[in-house]
Amino acid sequence: MDLVVSFHSLGFDFSGILAASAFIEYRDRNEDGDVNVEGPYALCEEVFQFAYTEPQDAVLKRFSPWVDQIILAGLDQWRRSL
């Protein structure tokens, strides 16, 4: 299982707003050596948004609870797949 947090610009043209989203994928190799990918499965209903001009400590203060929820959701998804 791979838990991925993706950071990217929000919108088509860069306006200074960035976003993070999260998902998981399951990867298995079959007998032929081919990789089978299942997913992606979203781990968040809302993306985490921040401005590039925002102070780092303010972003981290908001990001920590968001990423904690992502980790818990990923662990729960993994647990259910066992």
User: pLDDT tens, 7-42?
Assistant: 999 888 888 999 999 999 988 888 888 888 888 999
Q: What residue segments make up the domains of the chain, in order of their start?
A: 2-81
Predicted TM-score (pTM) above 0.95? no
User: Phi/psi of residue 58, each to 5°?
Assistant: -70, -40
> CA angle at residue 5 from 18 to 16, to 5 degrees?
5
